[in-house]
C-alpha cells in the first residue's frame, strides 16, 4: 500500500514529464520563430510593405524596395485556391460521410488519400499542363488551381470527420419530417457542423499558404505588381513562399535579409490562420 | 426618435453620393485620360539564365522609369535550361540563355512556327575557377590542360607538381582536391565544358560539352549557389562560378593562361576582349579559348531568345505586345548597355550589336516587318 505522499510524488513526476515534453515540442517552433524574426526584422520597414521588388541593384544601392506585390499576390492566389477547393472538397466530404453505402466511396477514399500524399510539385506540374500551356502564360489562376489540388484532400477529410460528429438522430429527425436526403444534409447537418468545416478550411488554407513547389511553374513569380488588375489572375504573380525561396538562393545579402522578412510575414499569416482555427474550435467547446 | 436620426443620416449619405457623382462627371476627361494610360500599359514576360538576371532586371527597372510605368518587364531567373524549355513551350515572350539554341531545337521551331528563332547576344558571361584552399587567396594560376586533368580526376592533390609548376612561390598543401560541378542544366556549365572541350580532344570525346554533361568525377551542386556552398564548406574544393557571383560572395578565384600564353586575371575588360572575334550571322558561336591575345579564355555570350514570327509565340497575344517587346530588345542592346559596368557586367562589343540589328530587322508580326520598322524609326539602320 502506497502512502499519499508517494502517490503525490509520482503524480508530480508525471506532470513534470508532461510539461517537459510540451516544452520540447514547442522548442523547435520557438527557435524557428526567433531565428526568423532576428534575421528578418532588419528588413521590415515602411518600404517593405509599400514598394515593389525590382532588381537586386535597388537593394544593393539602398533604393526603396519591398514586397507589396508579393503580399497581395499571395492573398489573391490563395483566395483563388480556396474558392476552387471548398466546393469540391466539401462535396467529396459529404459524399464520404453521408452516403457511406455508395459504390464509389472506397475508390474516392483511396483517390483522396493518394492526392493528399502526392508531392506538391506534381500538383504544380499538373496545373502547368492543364492551365499554363493552353493559356500560353503563367498565371495566378494556374497557381490557385495548383494550391486547390493541395487543399481539396485536406478539406474533404476535415469535412468528412466534421460531419461524422453530428449525431445520427438529427438526420433521422430531418427525414422524419419528410425532407429529402440532400436537403437534410444541406439544411441541418452542414450548419450543425459548420465550425468543424471552417476549421478544416483554415487548416487547408494555412497548409497551402506555405507551399512553394506547386507555384514555381504556375504563378511563376513577378518582380512587380501586374500593370492591370486582371494580371493578378491571368498573368504571372508573386507569392511569399516562392519569393522567399528565390531571395534565399540569390547571391545578395540584402535579399537574404528580405527573404527572412518575407518569412516573418508568411509566419504571421499562417499563425494568424491557425489562431483563427483554434479560436473557432474553442468556441465550439463552449457551445456544446 | 432613433429612426429620425437614421433618416437624417441616410439623407446626408445620399447628398454626399450625389456630390461625389457630380464631381466625378466633371473630371470625366481627366479620368478618360487616366484610363487610356492604364490600358496602354504592357507586361512583358521573360525568363531564363540566372547569371544575367541582375543586369536584365536593372534594365527592367530603368525601362519602366523611362516609359513612365507603361512597360513592365518581368524577368524570372530559372536557369538557362529552364529558359530554353519555357521558350520552346511558348509560355514566355523571350528566353535568356548562356547556351545557344541547338540545330535540332531550331529545326523543331522552324517546323512549328514557320520561322526560325534568334539568339540575340545581350551581355557576356565569364566563368572562373573558384576554390577553397586554406591560407591561399585568389589568383592561383591555372591553364586549360590542368583544369582538364583536375576535372578528369587525374590530379588529386593540391601539391601536384603540375599545379606547383604554374604557381612558383606558392606554398601548396597536400590537401586532396574535391571537384564540384553544377547538377542542374546550366549555361555556366555550357561555357566551362566548351572550354575544356576546346583544350582537350580527350575531354571532347569522353565528356563533350552542353548545359549538363556526364562528369567523370566530382559532386554536384544546384545552381551557382549550390556550387558556392559546396566549395565554401569543403577545404580543398574546386568548382566554377560566374565572375560576378564569385566577387559578390568573396570567393577565391584563379587566373587562367589563355591560348596566346598570357596569364589573364578575370575581368570585364578581358571578357569583352575575348569576344573581339569574327562573328557568324546568327551569333551562335563559342569563343572559349579565344585567339584574342588579351582575352579571358572561359567566356561566352548570354543570349536573348526570340521567335522570328512573333505571332506564332503563344505567349504574345497581340501586335501591340510584340511591338513593345521589339522596342525593349532594341533598347536593351543600345542604351540599356550603359548599365553594364556599374553592375559588374561586360559591355556588348560593337560587332555583336551590329549582328543583333540584322537579326531584329527580320522579326515579324504576321506579314508586318515590325523589327525593321522599329529600327528605321529609331535611325539605327
Q: A235, B43: Cβ pair inside 8 Å?
A: yes
**Is pLDDT above 50 for B6?**
no
pTM of the model: 0.84
Contact A96, A160 (CB under 8 A): yes
Domains and CATH numbers, chain B: 40-124+299-377 (3.40.190.10), 126-274 (3.40.190.10)
**Is pLDDT above 80 for B27?**
no
A3 Cβ contact partners less than 8 Å away, ≥ 6 residues apart = none
DSSP string, A222-278: -SS--SSTTHHHHS-B--HHHHHHHHHTSS-HHHHHHHHHHHHHHHHHHHHHHHHHH
d(CA A155, CA A141): 20
Residue at grid coordinates 492543364: A130
β pairing state of B117-132 and B299-307? antiparallel
A235 shares contact with chain B (CB less than 8 Å) = yes
Ramachandran bin of A137, using left for φ above 0, alpha for ψ from -120 to 50, beta for the remaining angles: beta
Residues 37-56 of A with CB under 8 A from B: 54-56
- Backbone φ and ψ for B185, nearest 5 degrees, come out as -65, 120
Partners of residue B91 in chain A, C-beta under 8 Å: 132-133, 136-138
**Is pLDDT above 80 for B29?**
no
Angle between helices B350-360 and B319-333 (to 10 degrees): 170
pLDDT, average across residues B362-371: 94
β pairing state of B237-242 and B117-132? antiparallel
pLDDT exceeding 70 applies to what percent of chain A?
97
Partners of residue B113 in chain A, C-beta under 8 Å: none
Encode pLDDT of B269-318 as tens digits: 899 889 888 899 999 998 899 988 999 999 999 999 999 999 999 999 99
| Closest by Cα among B241, B183, B178, B180 to B212 | B183
B223 shares contact with chain A (CB less than 8 Å) = yes
> How far away is chain B from the Cα of A228, in angstroms, using its nearest Cα?
7
3-class state of residue B300 by DSSP: strand
Looking at residue B112, its pLDDT comes to: 92
β pairing state of B299-307 and B94-97? antiparallel
Selecting from A55, A57, A236 the residue whose C-beta is nearest the C-beta of B45 gives A236
- Backbone φ and ψ for B176, nearest 5 degrees, come out as -70, 145
For residue B367, the Cα-to-chain-centroid distance in whole angstroms is 30
Looking at residue B187, its pLDDT comes to: 87
In eight-state DSSP terms, residue A165 is T
**Is pLDDT above 50 for B353?**
yes
Selecting from A54, A132, A221 the residue whose C-beta is nearest the C-beta of B61 gives A54
3-class state of residue B112 by DSSP: helix
- Backbone φ and ψ for B70, nearest 5 degrees, come out as -75, -40
pLDDT exceeding 90 applies to what percent of chain B?
68
Tens-digit pLDDT profile for chain A (288 aa)?
A: 678 999 999 999 999 999 999 999 999 989 999 999 999 998 899 999 999 999 988 988 889 999 999 999 999 999 999 999 999 999 999 999 999 889 999 999 999 999 999 999 999 999 999 999 999 999 999 999 999 999 999 999 999 999 999 999 999 999 999 999 999 999 999 999 988 898 899 889 988 998 999 999 999 999 999 988 889 999 999 999 999 998 988 878 889 999 999 999 999 998 888 888 778 777 655 454
| Domain ranges across chain A | 4-43, 49-287
Partners of residue A54 in chain B, C-beta under 8 Å: 57, 60-61
Q: A252, B248: Cβ pair inside 8 Å?
A: yes
Q: In chain B, whose CA is at the least distance from the CA of A138? A: B91
B248 shares contact with chain A (CB less than 8 Å) = yes
Between residues B60 and A278, the one the model is more confident about = B60
Q: Which CATH superfamily is domain A49-287 in?
A: MetI-like (1.10.3720.10)
Encode pLDDT of B32-59 as tens digits: 777 777 778 999 999 999 889 989 999 9
B102 shares contact with chain A (CB less than 8 Å) = no
Encode pLDDT of B251-278 as tens digits: 999 999 999 999 999 998 899 889 888 8
Q: Which of B39, B53, B61 to mutate to test the interface with A (most CBs of A within 10 A)?
A: B61
Contact A207, A222 (CB under 8 A): no
Partners of residue B42 in chain A, C-beta under 8 Å: 227
Looking at residue B337, its pLDDT comes to: 94
β pairing state of B117-132 and B252-253? antiparallel
A232 shares contact with chain B (CB less than 8 Å) = no
Amino acid at each position: 500500500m502506497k502512502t499519499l505522499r508517494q502517490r503525490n510524488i509520482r503524480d508530480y513526476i508525471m506532470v513534470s514529464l508532461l510539461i517537459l515534453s510540451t516544452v520540447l515540442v514547442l522548442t523547435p517552433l520557438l527557435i524557428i520563430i526567433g531565428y526568423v524574426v532576428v534575421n528578418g526584422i532588419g528588413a521590415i520597414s515602411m518600404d517593405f510593405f509599400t514598394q515593389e521588388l525590382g532588381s537586386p541593384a535597388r537593394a544593393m544601392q539602398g533604393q526603396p524596395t519591398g514586397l507589396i506585390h508579393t503580399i497581395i499576390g499571395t492573398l489573391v492566389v490563395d483566395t483563388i485556391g480556396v474558392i476552387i477547393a471548398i466546393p469540391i472538397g466539401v462535396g467529396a466530404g459529404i459524399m464520404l460521410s453521408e452516403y457511406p453505402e455508395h459504390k464509389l466511396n472506397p475508390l474516392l477514399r483511396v483517390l483522396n488519400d493518394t492526392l493528399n500524399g502526392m508531392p506538391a510539385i506534381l500538383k504544380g506540374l499538373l496545373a502547368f499542363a492543364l492551365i499554363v500551356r493552353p493559356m500560353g502564360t503563367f498565371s495566378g489562376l494556374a497557381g490557385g488551381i495548383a494550391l486547390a489540388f493541395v487543399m481539396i484532400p485536406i478539406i474533404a477529410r476535415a469535412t468528412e470527420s466534421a460531419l461524422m460528429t453530428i449525431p445520427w438522430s438529427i438526420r433521422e429527425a430531418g427525414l422524419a419530417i419528410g425532407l429529402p436526403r440532400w436537403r437534410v444534409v444541406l439544411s441541418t447537418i452542414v450548419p450543425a457542423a459548420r465550425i468543424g468545416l471552417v476549421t478544416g478550411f483554415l487548416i487547408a488554407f494555412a497548409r497551402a499558404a506555405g507551399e512553394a513547389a506547386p507555384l514555381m511553374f504556375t504563378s511563376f513569380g513577378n518582380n512587380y505588381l501586374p500593370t492591370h488588375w486582371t494580371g493578378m489572375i491571368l498573368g504571372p504573380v508573386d507569392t511569399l513562399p516562392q519569393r522567399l525561396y528565390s531571395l534565399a538562393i540569390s547571391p545578395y545579402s540584402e535579399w537574404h535579409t528580405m527573404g527572412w522578412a518575407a518569412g516573418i510575414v508568411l509566419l504571421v499569416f499562417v499563425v494568424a490562420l491557425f489562431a483563427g482555427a483554434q479560436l473557432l474550435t474553442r468556441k465550439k467547446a463552449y457551445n456544446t | 426618435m432613433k429612426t429620425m436620426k437614421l433618416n437624417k443620416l441616410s439623407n446626408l449619405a445620399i447628398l454626399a453620393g450625389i456630390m461625389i457623382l457630380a464631381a466625378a462627371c466633371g473630371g470625366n476627361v481627366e479620368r478618360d485620360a487616366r484610363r487610356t494610360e492604364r490600358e496602354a500599359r504592357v507586361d512583358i514576360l521573360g525568363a531564363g539564365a540566372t547569371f544575367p538576371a541582375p543586369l536584365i532586371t536593372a534594365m527592367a527597372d530603368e525601362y519602366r522609369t523611362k516609359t513612365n510605368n507603361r512597360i513592365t518587364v518581368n524577368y524570372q531567373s530559372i536557369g538557362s535550361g529552364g529558359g530554353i524549355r519555357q521558350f520552346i513551350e511558348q509560355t514566355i515572350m523571350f528566353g535568356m540563355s548562356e547556351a545557344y539554341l541547338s540545330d535540332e531545337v531550331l529545326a523543331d521551331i522552324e517546323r512549328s512556327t514557320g520561322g526560325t528563332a534568334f539568339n540575340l547576344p545581350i551581355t557576356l558571361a565569364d566563368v572562373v575557377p573558384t576554390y577553397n584552399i586554406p591560407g591561399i587567396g585568389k589568383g592561383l594560376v591555372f591553364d586549360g590542360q590542368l583544369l582538364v586533368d583536375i576535372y578528369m580526376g587525374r590530379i588529386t592533390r593540391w601539391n601536384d607538381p603540375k599545379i606547383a609548376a604554374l604557381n612558383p612561390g606558392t606554398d601548396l598543401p597536400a590537401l586532396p582536391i574535391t571537384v564540384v560541378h553544377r547538377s542542374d542544366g546550366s549555361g555556366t556549365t555550357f561555357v566551362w565544358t566548351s572550354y575544356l572541350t576546346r583544350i582537350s580532344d580527350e575531354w571532347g570525346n569522353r565528356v563533350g560539352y552542353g548545359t549538363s554533361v556526364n562528369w567523370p568525377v566530382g559532386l554536384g551542386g544546384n545552381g551557382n549557389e549550390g556550387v558556392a556552398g559546396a566549395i565554401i564548406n569543403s577545404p580543398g574544393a574546386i568548382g566554377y562560378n560566374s565572375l560576378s557571383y564569385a566577387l559578390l560572395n568573396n570567393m577565391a578565384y584563379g587566373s587562367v593562361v589563355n591560348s596566346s600564353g598570357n596569364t589573364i586575371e578575370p575581368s570585364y575588360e578581358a571578357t569583352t576582349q575575348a569576344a573581339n572575334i569574327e562573328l557568324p550571322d546568327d551569333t551562335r558561336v563559342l569563343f572559349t579559348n579565344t585567339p584574342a591575345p588579351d582575352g579571358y579564355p572561359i567566356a561566352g555570350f548570354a543570349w536573348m531568345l526570340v521567335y522570328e514570327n512573333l505571332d506564332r509565340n503563344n505567349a504574345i497575344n497581340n501586335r501591340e505586345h510584340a511591338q513593345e517587346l521589339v522596342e525593349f530588345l532594341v533598347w536593351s542592346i543600345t542604351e540599356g548597355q550603359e548599365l553594364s559596368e556599374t553592375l559588374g557586367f561586360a559591355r556588348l562589343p560593337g560587332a555583336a550589336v551590329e549582328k543583333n540589328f540584322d537579326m531584329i530587322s527580320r522579326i515579324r508580326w504576321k506579314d508586318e516587318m515590325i523589327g525593321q520598322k522599329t529600327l528605321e524609326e529609331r535611325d539605327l539602320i
